[in-house]
Amino acid sequence: MNFNTELFGRTPEGEEVSLYTLTSAKGLRARITNYGAILVSLEVPDRHGKLDDITLGFDNLDGYLGKHPYFGATVGRYANRIGNARFVLGGVEYKLAANNGPNHLHGGIKGFDKVVWKTLEATAAEDRAWVKLTYLSKDGEEGYPGNLRCTVTYTLTNDDELRLDYEAETDKKTVLNLTNHTYWNLRGQGSGEVLGHELLLHATRFTVVDKGLIPTGITASVVDTPLDFLSPRTLGARIRQLRNGYDHNFILSGPANTLKPCARVHEPTSGRILEIATTEPGVQLYTGNFLDGSIIGKGGKSYGKHAGFCLETQHYPDSPNKPNFPTTVLDPGKKFTSTTVHKFSAK
């Protein structure tokens, strides 16, 4: 295993931004930047050993500094949506930015994806290489209470795994929901639609949402619906039965706060397989419904509708306003931890 550090560029304010390259003995190569704690690229071999970058994104920092749909980003303070951009905690109402219609999305105007994280570690051992990044979200930032110290550690292993470990602590009661927003295309970024990818999801239920994609508080069975991936099905098999594509939170089977199977994705052309395990209670499946070809990504590739899919391991949307959902409250003196593992293979 080895790692390399290079200058990725500077922000408009002059902050230096680094790019870290982690390489496994088997040739997997992950590139991470401390701007937004973003996964810039991940090169994985196909069944013939050919490496391709399987994540959507940009070749340089300028792309990430501009407007984009959270390519590869670490998302917070609260990933996904909070209804009416408000919540009540400890009897106090907190008002957030309404940046998704009347609702709050992915941490607001300047979420964790748009700040420079501090690098704590970037190194390699015999069996793994990792980079550990940290960010202090100050009390009142984007409307959230508490000084919140977050860390995310990207680890690439010789077992062909990319592991993400999150930790957070606060000095005031707050809410927290962290995820990674990578857009995957196992055939290779820029290679067209992902609707031929075969997905297995370890989820028997999902959270029902209203027209604004805010949960109603009701959960329902996926069986006999287009959301049934209990046996492998292509993403495109029933996508036309939905209004615009998949953008749904699935409730994962298995015990809370333990690493459990989440999903398995197989791309038949390349033979690549992605298996995800997580400690989180849910996962958001999103099929790049709002990509329209206007974004030019890596290698000059245009990203059209369904050019990538996301499997965002997370707590449920709008949990701060849904007391029947698993809590996203973090108290002072407590430590938030979360782990998601992506394992790659080919057949």
Q: Residue 140 has what pLDDT? A: 98
Task: Give CA–CA dist 288/306, Å, rounded.
Answer: 5
CATH of domain 2-346: 2.70.98.10
**Positive or negative, the Cα torsion across 302, 307, 311, 315?**
positive
Residue 38 and residue 71 in contact, taking contact as beta carbons nearer than 8 Å:
yes
Evaluate whether 111 touches 117 at the Cβ level (below 8 Å): no
Q: What is the pLDDT of residue 256?
A: 85
CA dist., res. 160 & res. 247, Å (int): 28
Instruction: Say how far apart CA 202 and CA 262 lie, in whole Å.
Output: 5
Tens-level pLDDT at each residue, the chain (347 residues)? 999 999 999 999 999 999 999 999 888 999 999 999 999 999 999 999 999 999 999 999 999 999 999 999 999 999 999 999 999 999 999 999 999 999 999 999 999 999 999 999 999 999 999 999 999 999 999 999 999 999 999 999 999 999 999 999 999 999 999 999 999 999 999 999 999 999 999 999 999 999 999 999 999 999 999 999 999 999 999 999 998 999 999 999 999 899 999 999 999 999 999 999 999 999 999 999 999 999 999 999 999 999 999 999 999 999 999 999 999 999 999 999 999 999 999 99
> Is residue 180 within 8 Å of residue 209, measured between CB atoms?
no
Q: In the structure encoding, which two tokens stand for residue 187, read together? A: 């055939």
Alpha-carbon distance values, 346 to 80, 170, 209 (Å)? 31, 41, 36
- Give the bridge partners for 278, in sequence order: 260, 340
What pLDDT score was predicted for residue 236? 98
**pLDDT at 279 (0 to 100):** 98
Q: What CA–CA distance (Å, rounded) separates 261 from 121?
A: 29
Task: Using DSSP bridges, classify how beta strands 174-175 and 302-303 pair: parallel, antiparallel or unpaired.
Answer: unpaired
Catalytic residue positions?
181, 312
Residue appearing with tokens 């067209």: 192
Q: How far apart are CA 24 and CA 289, in angstroms?
A: 33
What's the token pair of residue 48? 């013939």
Task: Provide the 8-state DSSP code for 64.
Answer: H
Query: What are φ and ψ of residue 333, in 5° steps?
Result: 85, -10
Cα 226 to Cα 224: distance, rounded to the nearest angstrom: 7
pLDDT of amino acid 238: 98
pLDDT at 26: 85
